[in-house]
Amino acid sequence: MSKSKLIGIIIACVVAVVVMVVVIAAPSSPDGERHPGNGASSENGTTPGEGIHLGKSMVAAGGYHTVGLTRNGIVVAVGRNNHEQCDVDTWTDIVQVAAGYAHTVGLRADGTLVAVGDGRSGQTDVERSWWIDIVQVAAGSRHTVGLKSDGTVVSLRPHVSHDYGQSSVHSWTGITRVAAGSYHTVGLMSDGTVVAVGRNSNGQCDVGTWTDIIEIAAGGSNTVGLRSDGTTVAVGRDSYGQCDVDNWTDIVQVVAGGAHTVGLRSNGTVIAVGYNDYGQCNVEEWTDIVQIGAGGAHTVGLRSDGTVVAAGRKDFRQCDVGDWILG
């Protein structure tokens, strides 16, 4: 064997060893940090100006489907697929996912979006020239909202008969987080106050007095806020007790479903209130959870080892996530 070939083989072996070391050293589980507001069900983006990157797993829950994001930017989905809302297997380079009633949205690392599912209200028309520099995305029943890196907001609103003034989000500035409910949109301001527009038949937009908020969630007809001290506040429809969160403490993330509200505690356990006919609030035995999602009538939790648990309505297989490993 010539000396040049021998040197080439040695270099190749060294490179292979280095690659193996990098792969092995990389964490095999999603980000286990449970800082308040670290990743809501449909929010895995970053505060404007921080930039976005691969490396975080997450789950999101829609009307009747569940979406999972792996650390390497691949997306999986199960559940009802009547509008192809689960056809996400070709997506790559995704850093955050959001699930609406019957559509799914993915945020790419370059700040652009991809979407599938029911687009009859325009909620999947995200590949437009002004949908760039997005750092976080939220999906409502029939609309999609994007937060830009400069703190402004863009939206694909439903038909005018279901808009309820939500087009006014285009005038918002200084926003650090957005959330989308059935027919309302919520924004978290950089000073910890909250703004909301849309249908307000149950007072779900009455958030003008909230302060010291670090995370927000929007459900079917309610809005939830997480304070910096780990306590929570909620407004809106409370017919099933979904707003009964005043006594919650040590919470690090909140999500809101069709008629239930879920909170993640700093110790990795989960609490839920609201409509429970399908068992979507039966989460008290969950442990080691790092992120949660709430859908129409189901709840999803991501464990620190990348596995996923789910409770609630199962008729479209939306809870068949037992074999998922997202880490």
| Domain extents in the chain | 3-312
The answer to whether residue 40 scores a pLDDT higher than 50 is no
The answer to whether residue 20 scores a pLDDT higher than 60 is no
Mean pLDDT score, 64-74: 98
Per-residue pLDDT tens for 105-143? Answer: 999 999 999 999 999 999 999 998 889 999 999 999 999
User: How far is it, in rounded angstroms, from Cα 72 to Cα 55?
Assistant: 6
What does pLDDT average to over the chain? 87
The answer to whether residue 13 scores a pLDDT higher than 80 is no
314: Cβ–Cβ under 8 A, 6 or more apart, which residues?
A: 278, 298, 320
User: How far is it, in rounded angstroms, from Cα 126 to Cα 105?
Assistant: 9
Confidence class of residue 226 from pLDDT cuts 50, 70 and 90?
very high
* Rg from Cα positions in the chain: 20
| Residue (of 178, 180, 242, 236) closest to 204 by Cα position | 236
Burial class (CB in 10 A: 0-12, 13-18, 19+), 32: middle
Confidence class of residue 55 from pLDDT cuts 50, 70 and 90?
confident
22: Cβ–Cβ under 8 A, 6 or more apart, which residues?
A: none
3-312: CATH architecture: 7 Propeller (2.130)
User: How far is it, in rounded angstroms, from Cα 230 to Cα 238?
Assistant: 21
Contact criterion met (CB below 8 Å) for 3 and 11 = no
